[in-house]
Structure 1
């Protein structure tokens, strides 16, 4: 039986013929008990799953993981040399992971072993901690010295990670993609990302009660259960109104705004897999291959920054915790 992640009533579990399943599931339950969001717990589960598949592939035991094993796991994933998203793998090689993806997986596995140390299962954490700075970070940063020293770094990175500018989309790509959409629901979801800067998860979890048609605002529950109020252009509310009037099943009690319109799960909230499938299908139909949910959000932020909006205001609209992320 292959090792995999699947959803259960109280979260996610790693299941299969792997000796680390019990420890991994105890860790995931620990995260859920600390009120981590379901999406975060799911991400941790898949990061641990990647380690499990490596250990199975190399016939290595979970309890025998050492720092050398961790670096072998990093090599096994393969670091993408071209930092651009979507870069094609070289002939004869499997698609390599981005440096940011590998660092995220390493951080998740480091947290797993830290939990095992805390609970007395292991005596040490085998995931190495990289060298840190010497405490010489400037007290003020930014062009005008308007940013503080930032949050202290924790965990660190074992793979050098290039700092790339956010990728925005040109008007032709957006127009081509939107013109291929066939329902008011789909257009409303895309406009929420492009004209409101919502993350894909925020669009899927948006509730009818969070929509203020009068003021043309949305109340958004973002990362870390942080709420923000976002004004959105009228074109979004036009499509949303048409969707609610013409497409959403009448009498539906589902609190989420966007639901499945056909098939056996009609009336259920749009899922992450469903949204990915929607974007993949319409990228093929429109030929706008660069359109992704998060690039729509990046385009929103880039356009506002180009228009000269204050950095602190943009930070609030984007739902960023740190100004450094926005800058």
Structure 2
């Protein structure tokens, strides 16, 4: 089974362009399925992979408290695997064709108000004013995430050459290895200039390579460190929700739409493959308008 999973992992990486995070999640889901299968059919291998078994496995996950989003992802992992296994001749038929999983509920994400976003940027800038290279980097993390709406993995994956300072744009490699160009404004440009001239040179080592953002030891910044930076910055803003990098992405998209940006433009900026994903932010905007209306209108 491990040999099969290793080959499947290579397929996900090379042919489907899945990220390392997605591949780890899919392989973890499949190992869970294989353990479930081995308990019921110890010596049958993939031959015992039937629709009733898949349904029983998902039902057991649901009974154990798995969220709808988790069940949806696990069903997707199984469907991708069985389709691949059928093409490879590992199974005679695809048992997941009629497999259904509960659709993930789309919840409204927590977002900053525009004044809270400004306060967060000011908090990051005040920390960088002392000249500490890590504080200068942290300011850039917060500014760039909010200015561009890119994912934290995309930000940490940037190289110095991916930044065009004259045009104020980033060349971003997103999900599925899709490349897009994302602009950023003058405040983020100022944070970037400070980092490149005052911060990065103090942290760079021979092992830094071309990485734009660096950790304390000079290596490429890890996404977990960037998340910690965002949470710490939000903690300094009175009344702000405790959001991470994805919350800044949500906030950027919401504020763009509130400012009159076209939905298709926001889709391109965020790197969404379908417009339906971007449309979630229109729901956020309407929900916020209704909340204000309910609070302020005497006959709401």
TM over 0.5: yes
2:284 equivalent in structure 1: none
Q: Are the aligned partners of 2:235 and 2:242 in contact in 1 as well (CA < 8 Å)?
A: no
1:219 equivalent in structure 2: 171
1:134 equivalent in structure 2: none
State the TM-score, normalized to the length of structure 2.
0.74
The correspondence for 1:72, drawn from 37, 43, 56, is 56
1:187 equivalent in structure 2: 139
Stretches of structure 1 lacking an aligned partner (at least 5 in a row): 1-19, 80-93, 131-156
Tell me the matched-pair count. 261
2:288 equivalent in structure 1: none
Q: CA shift at 1:317, angstroms?
A: 1.8
1:170 equivalent in structure 2: 113
CA distance in 2, matches of 1:280, 1:257: 21
User: Counterpart of 1:25 in 2: which secondary structure?
Assistant: helix
Q: CA RMSD in A?
A: 3.0
Q: CA shift at 1:301, angstroms?
A: 1.0
CA distance in 2, matches of 1:158, 1:317: 31
1:111 equivalent in structure 2: 80
Deviation track 1:74-108 (CA, whole Å, cap 9, x = no partner) reads 233338xxxxxxxxxxxxxx7x4432232122111
The higher relative CO (CA closer than 8 Å, separation ≥ 6) is in 2
User: Counterpart of 2:215 in 1: which secondary structure?
Assistant: coil
Equivalences for residues 278-297 of structure 1 within 5 A: 278-279=229-230, 290-297=242-249
User: Counterpart of 2:273 in 1: which secondary structure?
Assistant: coil
User: Counterpart of 2:246 in 1: which secondary structure?
Assistant: helix
User: Counterpart of 1:236 in 2: which secondary structure?
Assistant: helix
Deviation track 1:59-79 (CA, whole Å, cap 9, x = no partner) reads 345533332222232233338
2:211 equivalent in structure 1: 256
The correspondence for 1:101, drawn from 60, 65, 70, is 70
1:102–1:36 Cα change, 3 Å? same
1:239 equivalent in structure 2: 191
Q: Are the aligned partners of 2:170 and 2:183 in contact in 1 as well (CA < 8 Å)?
A: yes
